[in-house]
Amino acid sequence: MFKIPPERNTSRLHFMVLFIAVILFILSIKIFRTAFTSESDLTAISGKVFSTDIYIKSSKSFKTRQTYYSSNLIVTLSGNNRLFKIKEPEKYSEKLQKIKSGLKKGNFATIYIKEKDIIETSPKIYRIDAANKNLLSLEDTKSEDIYIAMFSMLAGIALLVVFLYLRYPDFTKKYI
């Protein structure tokens, strides 16, 4: 294990680790709330499909200069000023292509969003029904978030243990 010289003031480092741990906990709680969304939390918005477009967005990593692509499906309904978006971390997403073709065939769609997101102009889509078919299920959207929430929760716990070890080494050696 590494030792920090006692003459150095390390309280700033300790509280920075604590700050990051708290931020990760808050993030994981917010994502867990999204991951445990139920049908009763959703509200339906129905209408005639006005447009469906798939955009491919590229972003370049500053460090490695590698290009990353993501596909975005944007759906608009007639008489509704919202842009409904679904994002996939792939250049060509077969899932988004199926949803787009299902929306074009159905011509009338019901999009489910969270009730608290009703005032947003670009809410997250949790479920899509068109032509008496379920194109996007609630379970698909929830399963994407659970892994991020678990990782941020575990990272927050690990950083909290590091903070306690750095700040109170005698106490943590006794109990850990």
Please give the single-letter amino acid code of residue 110: T
DSSP per-residue string spanning 11-74: HHHHHHHHHHHHHHHHHHHHHHHHHT--GGGEEEEEEEEEEEEEEEEEEE-TTT--EEEEEEEE
3-class secondary structure, 139: helix
127 touches 3 (CB < 8 A): no
Distances in Å between the Cα of 12 and the Cα atoms of 16, 52, 94 are 6, 51, 48
Is 93 in the same domain as 156? no
Is 74 in the same domain as 158? no
- Mean pLDDT, contiguous 10-residue spans, the chain (176 residues): 58 85 88 79 91 86 80 89 86 86 88 87 88 84 76 91 84 73
Please give the model's pTM, rounded to 2 decimal places.
Answer: 0.69
User: In this structure, is residue 10 part of a structural domain?
Assistant: no
User: In this structure, is residue 175 part of a structural domain?
Assistant: no
User: In this structure, is residue 1 part of a structural domain?
Assistant: no
Is 139 in the same domain as 152? no
